[in-house]
Amino acid sequence: MTALLEVTGLTKRYAGRREEVTACEDITFRVRRGDALALVGESGAGKSTVVRLVAGLEQPTAGRILLRGDPIDARPRGRTARLARAATVQIVHQDPYSCLDPRQTVGAGLAELLRLHARRLGPGAATRTRVADLLDTVGLPGLADARPARLSGGQRQRAAIARALAVEPDILLLDEAVAALDVSVQAQILNLLADLREHKGTTLVFVTHDLGVVRQLCQDTVVMRGGRVVEEGPVARVLTAPRHPYTRTLLDSVPRPGWHPRRTSGTAAAP
């Protein structure tokens, strides 16, 4: 079966002040439709770069990204191509401020987005009810009339997630997108994502430090270090019987201050 997303030999180098920085090199992985993949590894491993490339926000130095077997349109021209691109891949960053227009209320921003994609989402997609539903879904009921400045960091994060969900993309890239949320809100959003995956076939790619999230939601994982893949495979195998010493270290360590491995019920046994 053709993978929904196929990344081959993906490499990105940046011109540094003195020398080039290789953010990621020769990254290869595939994700089937409706699966969830976790990109894990310490800070600076190149995970965000990979998802930015997949989102088409930057051009790779080398390698290719195929969506349903076709090269992604990295620089879509014209309104229709841009909308099609947005409908395929959405990304939610850790700091979502840039995707929220400070002059617009959260509800007006969502309505505008729904109108833009109305042809695909169906007639009547941009209703107040749909906006209210989306805000409810991410735990922001009644905040349609709020502007971003009035929201807390966690609320802005949820508003950004609502925007990504509104478009009903084929692939949702989440770059530490739930890490800063309160535990209960985080659980609500993770449940929602699991639901989307199961019922709508949305493909998820998580960049996360939280192995609880990986266990709970993901089928496959790619472990990165220093811009390269050190190990990949099914979560059940990689987290219980890691082959690479770095993966073992990662599983034993606390990669970032404030990070706590969380035990989630109903998941595979802890390594």
Interface residue list for ligand ADP (CB under 6 A):
14, 21, 23, 41, 43-49
If the CB atoms of residues 42 and 133 are measured against ligand ADP, the closer one turns out to be 42
If the CB atoms of residues 14 and 259 are measured against ligand ADP, the closer one turns out to be 14
DSSP per position, 176-213: STTTTS-HHHHHHHHHHHHHIIIII--EEEEE-S-HHH
If the CB atoms of residues 38 and 45 are measured against ligand ADP, the closer one turns out to be 45
| Token pair of 186 as six digits | 């985080």
Please, what is the minimum distance in Å from the beta carbon of residue 254 to ligand ADP? 16
DSSP state of 248: H
Using only the alpha carbons of the chain, give its radius of gyration: 18
| Residues 168, 161, 204, 77, Cα dihedral to 10° | 60
Please, what is the minimum distance in Å from the beta carbon of residue 226 to ligand ADP? 9
Q: How far apart are CA 139 and CA 158, in angstroms?
A: 7
If the CB atoms of residues 167 and 213 are measured against ligand ADP, the closer one turns out to be 213
Please, what is the minimum distance in Å from the beta carbon of residue 84 to ligand ADP? 26
Please, what is the minimum distance in Å from the beta carbon of residue 206 to ligand ADP? 12
* 216, 199 contact by CB (below 8 A): no
